Each structure stands twice: as structure tokens, then as C-alpha cells.
Amino acid sequence: MTGSAYRESTDRLAGMLMRQAAWPAALVVAANVLAPLAASARGAFETWPAAVALSLAAASAVAVLALSALLAFDALLFRLMASHDDETSGGAAVDDILAGMRLKRLPPSTRSLDERMAGTRRLLTRQRAALGLFVAMLLAAGFWAPR
């Protein structure tokens, strides 16, 4: 893919990734600020199922935040790709950056935009699964908390 269609689709993907990185992270941070207040007021730490659920919620919160950071990094890499005229030169620039940061070895050939997008979609799926686990564990802690 070349030209303005390539730049538009890559830039649109980068914008979507930034939104998908931001809102789950904001939700997790807000819930982590408010949940302990509600849990201690209701005595949620007094029962072991609620305490376990809150511990699992905390672990999944860390996973959501880490995956959000990875998605934001991917969004910046896609913005870098969008600054180039075609897919090949944009992919080569990203590969050079990643190799320079020692995050990946320089590949023998550049991956296509579709392959890069597939990897990012896998990250999105993992982030949503971690977010689902986080919400489920918060609800479970509320269910097991004493009345």
C-alpha cells in the first residue's frame, strides 16, 4: 500500500490504538482508587473469597495497565509508519527503531502492515480479556463482601 490511502489507514489505526490504550487504563486507575474505599467500608477484606477476588483484580489491573502501555507504544510506531510514503519504508523505519532500542532483531525482510496489525489485534484481545477479568473479580469481591 502506498500514498495517502496508506497514510490515512495507518494514522487511523494509530488513533484507534491510542483510544483503546487510554480508556481501559483510565477505568482501571479509577476503579483502583475507588474500590479499596468501598471494600474497607463494607469489610470486604474480612472474608477470604472477597480478599482473593480483590487480589486477582489487582493482578489483572497490572496486566491491563501493562498491555495499555504496549498498545500506546504500538500506536506511536504506527504513527511513525504513517509518516513515510509507503508501507515498505515505514516498516523498515519501525524495524530500525526497534533494533536500535534492542527490542527486536533486525528482520531479513520487513513485515507487511497486515502482519503488524494482526499482532496488535492480539494485544487488544489480551487487554480486553484482562479487563474482563478485572471487572469480574471486582464484582465477585462485592458479591462475597459481608452485608
Q: Per-residue pLDDT tens for 7-65? A: 888 889 999 999 999 999 999 999 888 876 666 665 556 677 877 888 899 999 999 99
Contacts of residue 140, Cβ cutoff 8 Å, sequence gap at least 6: 49, 50, 53
Q: Collapsing DSSP states into helix, strand and coil, what is residue 80?
A: helix
> H helices within the chain, ranges in order?
3-42, 48-82, 87-100, 113-144
Burial class (CB in 10 A: 0-12, 13-18, 19+), 28: buried
Strand partners, 86: 2
If pLDDT is split at 50, 70 and 90, which confidence band does 142 have? Answer: confident
Q: Which of 140, 146, 119, 121 is nearest to 57 (CA)?
A: 140
- Break the chain into its structural domains and give their ranges: 3-144
In this prediction the pTM is: 0.86
* Statement: residue 144 has pLDDT above 80: no
Contact 110, 86 (CB under 8 A): no
Residue 67: which of 16, 118, 130 has the closest Cα?
A: 130
